[in-house]
Structure 1
Amino acid sequence: MAVLSSSSSHGLLRLHHPPLRLLAAVTTATSSSSYSIPHVRLRLAITTSRLPSPISSSSDPPPDVAHDDEHEEAHHKEERDERYGFEIQVRKLPKRNRRLVRARVSVDAPLEAVWATLTDYEGLAGFIPGLSECRLLDQADSFARLYQVGEQDLALGFKFNAKGTIDCYEGEMQLLPAGARRREIAFNMIDGDFKVFEGKWSVQEVDGGEKSADQEFQTALSYVVELEPKLWVPVRLLEGRICNEIKTNLVSIREEAQRIQRLQDKVIVNKGVAQFLFQHARVN
C-alpha cells in the first residue's frame, strides 16, 4: 500500500509513524508489476484517514455504481504471503478504470503500538521506502490533513510518482465481542493525482489482544482503498505497482511497530532488573 505520509503526536511509534504511512518492506509482490509505464510521473502514495464517504466492508462494489463497460470481464485478484501473514485482494469495480483494493498483515505488537506507528504522520517518510515526503498541513482533535509525495525509480531513469493532499479522520476505540478492540482511520484525497482515492485503516486485536503460547500475532492491520487515477493512464497498467506499494507500506508499518515494541519491552525489563538489584542491595 502506498502512503502519503503525515505526522501526528501519537507516541509509541516514531514511525515518525506513517499516518500509516504504513509501509514496510515486503518481499513478495502481489500483482504483476511487469507493465511498463510510459514517461509518466505518477507516484503512488497512500495515507490513512477516516472515510468521509463510507466504503462498504463488503467485497462487492457499491450498488449505485453504473456499469460503464459491461463487456469487460470481471476482474478479481488475490495474493498471499505467509511470511508476513499478508494477503491482498484487487477487485475491478463496475465503474471504468476504478479498483477496490483490500490488504491485511499480521503484527506481533499490541494495538497501541501499531496505532502509534500509524499516526506518527510526520515520521512515516522515515521508514516507508516509497514515501519521499509527508507534511502535516493541519491537525485538530481526531483529524489530520497531510500532503504526501510518493516516488519510485523505474527502468531507464524514469520515476513513478504520485502526490496528493489527504484528510484523515481517527475513530474512537471500539469494543468488539470476546473483549477484542478495534480502531480505524478513514481517509480521503481532496486534491492530487487520483480522481478517487479514499478508504480506511483498521487496527484490530486478535482474540482480545492476549497472545497465547501457540499464537504468533497479537494484532491485524487492515487497509482498504477505492481508487481511480486522474490521468489518462489505464489503472490496469498501474495495478501491479500499486499493489506492491501497498504491501511495502503495510509490512513497513508492521516492522516499525514491532521494533518499537521490542524497545519498550527492553526498557521495562531493564527497569525491573534495576529495581530488583536496588531492593536486594538494601536488604543486604
Structure 2
Amino acid sequence: MATMLLSSSSSSSHGLLRLRLHHHPPLRLLAATSYSIRRLRVAVPTRRSLPSPISSSPDDVAAAHDDDEQEDESHKEERDERYGFEIEVRKLPKRNRRLVRARVSVDAPLDAVWATLTDYEGLAGFIPGLSECRLLDQRPTFARLYQVGEQDLALGFKFNAKGTIDCYEGELQVLPAGARRRDIAFNMIDGDFKVFQGKWSVQEVDGGEISAGQEFQTTLSYVVELEPKLWVPVRLLEGRICNEIKTNLVCIREEAQRIHRLQDEGNSQTQRKSC
C-alpha cells in the first residue's frame, strides 16, 4: 500500500502539528498502556526475523537516566501471536528520531496482499481512523495520496490529522527457493514530521515454511524512520504511532484474506459451472 497508513501524521498551513479537539459524549477513556510498549515473550508463527536493528547512541539519552534506563528506552518490542505480529522501536542517534519495524503474517498469496495495499482510494473503507485517502496523482509505479485521519483521544476528545505521501512501487522480485517479494517505498512530502519515510514489503515465503493447513503464508513488513517537528517530543507520540501501525497491519491482513477467500469462492463456482 503506497501510503504510510498512519492517521496521526498531519500537516497545517504553517507546517506545524494541528490539533482539533472536539469534546463529545460519551466519554471514552484510553488505557494508560497505549503510551508504552511492553516486551512480551511470545512465539510468532514465522521463522523469519526482523531486519538487523540499528544501534542507538547513548549521547541521545537524557543525562538524568542511568545506563539500564537508557537501554530500555532505546529498544522496545511487542509481539502478538494471534496475528503473527511483532513490532520494535529503536531510538536513533538523533535525539527526537525513531525507527519502527513491524510485520504481520497473512494467510493469503502475495497478489492478494499487494492488491489490498494498492487499492489506494479504498483504504479508508477498512482502516479505522483513516477518514479519507484520496489519490492525487498516479503513474506507472507511482502514486501521490492525500490522507485525513481522525482518532479518539482521552476524555471524549478527537485528534484530526492530514498528510500527503509519495509512494513508489517496486517490481516483483523472485528470491532464492522460489519466494517472491514486492516493495513500496514512501515519503511524506507535507505533514507534521520533519522525517517520515520508509517501506512496505510483501514477501510470500517458500512452501517449506507454510504451516500445516495453510495454502499460503505471506509476511507483510513495514519500516519507517520518523522525526516530528521540533516542538513535538517523539516520546509523546510513540505509543500512539505503534498502536496505529499494529491496527493498520492487522486490518490489511484481514482485508487481504477476505479478498483471497472471495477469489477462491469465485474460482470454485466457475469450475462447478464448467463441469
User: Into which bin does the TM-score normalised by the smaller protein fall?
Assistant: 0.7 to 0.9
Give the conservation status (yes or no) of the 8 Å contact 2:113–2:253: yes
* Structure 1 position 193 matched with structure 2 position 192: yes
Letter in 2 for 1:59: P
Q: 1:246 to 1:226 in 2, by over 3 A?
A: same
Q: Where do 5+ consecutive residues of structure 2 fail to align? A: 8-29, 37-50
209-218 or 231-240: bigger deviation = 209-218
* Structure 1 position 33 matched with structure 2 position 27: no
Residue 122 of structure 1 is matched in structure 2 by 121
Residue 24 of structure 2 is matched in structure 1 by none
- Secondary structure in structure 1 of the residue aligned to 2:96: coil
Q: Output one character per residue of 1:89-119: Cα deviation in whole Å (capped at 9) or x when no partner.
A: 0111111111110000000000000000000
Residue 59 of structure 1 is matched in structure 2 by 53
Give the conservation status (yes or no) of the 8 Å contact 2:131–2:148: yes
Q: 1:204 to 1:195 in 2, by over 3 A?
A: same
Give the conservation status (yes or no) of the 8 Å contact 1:2–1:249: no
Give the conservation status (yes or no) of the 8 Å contact 1:209–1:219: no
Measure, in 2, the Cα distance between the counterparts of 1:238 and 1:203: 27
Measure, in 2, the Cα distance between the counterparts of 1:224 and 1:116: 19
Written as runs of structure 1 = structure 2, the 5 A alignment for 1:1-284 is 3=5, 32-34=33-35, 57-60=51-54, 67-69=59-61, 71=63, 73-74=70-71, 75-207=74-206, 211=210, 213=212, 215=214, 218-230=217-229, 232-276=231-275
Letter in 2 for 1:158: F
Q: Once the 2 structures are TM-superposed, how far is the Cα of residue 240 of structure 1 from its aligned partner? A: 0.9
Residue 45 of structure 1 is matched in structure 2 by none
Moved over 3 A (4+): 65-72, 208-217
Q: 1:232 to 1:209 in 2, by over 3 A?
A: farther
Letter in 2 for 1:33: S
Give the conservation status (yes or no) of the 8 Å contact 2:6–2:244: no
Q: Once the 2 structures are TM-superposed, how far is the Cα of residue 274 of structure 1 from its aligned partner? A: 1.4
Give the conservation status (yes or no) of the 8 Å contact 1:164–1:189: yes
- Secondary structure in structure 2 of the residue aligned to 1:237: helix
Measure, in 1, the Cα distance between the counterparts of 2:207 and 2:175: 9
Q: Once the 2 structures are TM-superposed, how far is the Cα of residue 238 of structure 1 from its aligned partner? A: 1.2
Letter in 1 for 2:5: V
- Secondary structure in structure 1 of the residue aligned to 2:177: helix
Q: Percent of pairs identical after alignment? A: 79
Q: Once the 2 structures are TM-superposed, how far is the Cα of residue 33 of structure 1 from its aligned partner? A: 1.4
Q: Where do 5+ consecutive residues of structure 1 fail to align? A: 6-28, 36-56, 277-284
Letter in 1 for 2:187: N
Letter in 2 for 1:3: L
Letter in 2 for 1:85: G
Q: Once the 2 structures are TM-superposed, how far is the Cα of residue 160 of structure 1 from its aligned partner? A: 2.6
Q: Output one character per residue of 1:3-37: Cα deviation in whole Å (capped at 9) or x when no partner.
A: 159xxxxxxxxxxxxxxxxxxxxxxx9x94148xx
Q: 1:123 to 1:246 in 2, by over 3 A?
A: same
- Secondary structure in structure 2 of the residue aligned to 1:213: coil
Give the conservation status (yes or no) of the 8 Å contact 1:197–1:226: yes
Q: Once the 2 structures are TM-superposed, how far is the Cα of residue 204 of structure 1 from its aligned partner? A: 0.1
Q: 1:165 to 1:114 in 2, by over 3 A?
A: same
Q: Once the 2 structures are TM-superposed, how far is the Cα of residue 211 of structure 1 from its aligned partner? A: 4.4
- Secondary structure in structure 1 of the residue aligned to 2:34: coil
Measure, in 2, the Cα distance between the counterparts of 1:232 and 1:157: 25
Q: Once the 2 structures are TM-superposed, how far is the Cα of residue 2 of structure 1 from its aligned partner? A: 6.3
- Secondary structure in structure 2 of the residue aligned to 1:169: strand
Give the conservation status (yes or no) of the 8 Å contact 1:131–1:148: yes
Question: What TM-score do you get using the length of structure 1 for normalisation?
Answer: 0.74
Letter in 2 for 1:241: R
135-144 or 150-159: bigger deviation = 150-159
